[in-house]
Amino acid sequence: MIAQGLEIEGFAAAVIDALSSNICVTDKGGVIIAVNQAWRNFTVENPPISDHAGVGSNYLAICRGSAGPGSEGADTFASGLQAVLEKKSNFFEMEYPCHSPSQNRWFLGRVTRMEAEPWGAVISHANITDRKVLELELVKLATTDPLTGLPNRRYFLEVANLEAVRVLRFGAVASVLMVDLDHFKSVNDTYGHGVGDETLRQITQLLAKHLRQIDVLARVGGEEFTIMLPGTNEAGGVTLAQKLRQKLSETPVKVGNNQFNVTASFGVSEILAGETEVDACLDRADKALYAAKRSGRNNVISFTAISRAAGKSDALS
């Protein structure tokens, strides 16, 4: 029986050593009592870890003492491991970044309760970097305009709705600009779509140059852009829009031997108290944009301005 037990133990160790995941076993106090070959290789390749993550080390202390690059999520993982060791949970897992100075990496960490003596936990860390990079690329493709590199409508709506909730919860302010390039079809008709595409890229760079880091500029249509301005009321949005309008009209687009000016019309609206989504604000900004176009283009109009004009018209009729 003893010989058979040793054979089984040796077989199990060989199997675990053959796995690509980094695996360790802890006792009920979180002290590491065994590691596989992948674990040993990983600690050797990552010198800061090798001094602390060997047999005899306390894994809970390792997590809670982690700091700097690669330590993201360590406290959460320690809490999950603690719950398993205290038999409050049978299983815990989480994905987390563990970036090195030379590579961005992601791992899937799993903790499983070990029922046999000396009961504790089996911890595994699988490198999921390839899958995570693919996921991030897919998200980027789904939320980015390929021509300008700006966020697309989908991403803008996600961010703007979060901002609307912040306005509601904290009594903050935010406004939205709708921007539409004037007579842009004539650029494509006169110079070709290649020049038109380069024009959009140059316009994107010019707009972004005059925005804050917290502002969100997105391309939501062919020649239509939207800008979210956190912490800015409608009057502030009008001031910025006038600045952007002037910069656009004064800065010529240069593509090869072609040089020409492009203007834009702007509609401005503020997110109102009580609005939990940005759709109504976008609708108001869109109405103001069309009023700017009807007034002769290369113009800025706020929703408040067209509301006042409508009120005066009703009073006179």
Written as six digits, the tokens of 240 are: 């910025």
Q: Which of 72, 135, 163, 223 is catalytic?
A: 223
Residue 33: C-alpha distances to residues 117, 206, 265, 280 (Å) = 12, 60, 69, 60
Report d(CA 219, CA 204) in Å as an integer.
9
Distance in angstroms between the alpha carbons of the first and the last residue of the chain: 104
Question: 270: number of CA atoms within 13 Å, CB side?
Answer: 19
Sign of CA dihedral 223, 229, 176, 312: negative
Report d(CA 176, CA 276) in Å as an integer.
15
Give the gyration radius of the chain's Cα atoms: 29
Report d(CA 307, CA 296) in Å as an integer.
19
CA 284 to chain centre: 27
Reply yes or no on whether 277 is catalytic: no
Phi, psi of 51 (to 5 degrees): -80, -15
Kindly report the number of other CB atoms within 10 A of residue 146's CB atom: 10
Catalytically annotated residues: 223
